[in-house]
Amino acid sequence: METAADKKSQQSHDNGDRRLIDSIEHVYYDGYWIRYYAPLEDSLANRKRLIDSLTRRAFHHTEAGINTPGRSLDLAREAYETETDPRRKRVNAAMLAGALFNRATDLFTSIVDLGELGVQVSHNNELMRECSDCFQEALKLGQQVKHSSGCEGIDEVWGEPFKAFTMPIADFYQSRFVKIAQSMRDIDRIADCMIDVFCRHELFAELKSLIVDYAAAARHTAETMKKDPIIFRIWPDFVALGEQLDAFAPKAPADASEILGMRLAQGRDLIQEGRLLLSYIASARVPMPKSTGSYIEKCQAFNDQPLA
């Protein structure tokens, strides 16, 4: 019987292999065993449920104020096209992308409703074409949309409703497993960096086990669908461990210099920044390569200077 510790595999496996770990079915992708969820039956109704869920998720993890109703599409487009200030225009682009997403989901809802009434809508139908056009334009404008933290764009989340519209549902699920594996990889990179940079110092050494536990909880969070009842065990554990990390404060010796005090405060700030980044990746369930790379560079710069 494998345990949760076996989820990161050093052995050779093929992507898509499945096996039980702790009596729960997992699937292997790119070095990680990920909790497996069977894809929904491929139907218009199920595709609508999936797109609605992914659209809500996209707005949840992106910047505030861009969940523009589909009925305001023309106003959003006019505001975007007439804005000249680059910073404001980026926000208008994000608002227009939101309106396009909502218009697309509104149209797809109408298509599903017609199907339930016995009216079959072909892929060449005008409604279906307009729906596809809205998704594609929203995807293009999505490059202007930032994560809710403001730290970077989050194209991986923004593009998922369009993928669910165009791909067979089984293929979409497979693409999600790949993204979760990539998320787990970034979680491990960040945690390993935190341990390597900080826990070599006596004043931070006690953090190692907490970082290891928090990274494991982050991986569990990333692989778990919110509709899975197990989330009521996984999410509280994740939050509680994060609060412990945030509460950590290295205790400087009584005779510590002012410079050492400043360096310890800088280290604590970096640890909290890493904790936040781990929470962003785990919650969004997608990698954040720009933020991950930037954070590792900050930690390496901290490590290049003596702590004392």
In tens, the pLDDT along 4-51 reads: 445 665 567 899 999 999 999 999 999 999 999 999 999 888 988 999
- Give the rounded percent of residues in the chain with a pLDDT score beyond 70: 95
Q: What does pTM read for this prediction?
A: 0.87
Task: Please indicate whether residue 208 or residue 117 has the higher confidence score (pLDDT).
Answer: 208
- Residues 81-114 as b/e (b if ≥16 CB within 10 A, e otherwise) read eeeeeeeebbbbbbbbbbbbbbbbbebbeebbee
Judge contact between 51 and 165, C-beta under 8 A: yes
Strand locations in the chain, DSSP E?
Answer: 18-21, 24-29, 32-35
119 pLDDT higher than 90: no
**Mean pLDDT rounded to a whole number for the chain:** 90
Residue 143 has pLDDT above 50, yes or no: yes
Task: Please determine, for residue 308, whether its predicted confidence score (pLDDT) is greater than 70.
Answer: no
Report yes or no: 25 and 7 within 8 Å, Cβ to Cβ. Answer: no
In this prediction, residue 1 carries a pLDDT of 33
In the prediction, which pLDDT does 10 show?
Answer: 58
pLDDT computed for residue 279 by the predictor: 96
Report the pLDDT value the prediction gives residue 11, as an integer from 0 to 100.
65
Averaged pLDDT, 197-216: 93
- Per the CB < 8 A criterion, the answer to whether 49 and 71 are in contact is no
100 pLDDT band (50/70/90 cuts)? Answer: very high
Give the range among 67-71, 96-100, 149-153 with minimum mean pLDDT.
149-153
Nearest-5° angle of CA 284, CA 241, CA 178? Answer: 30
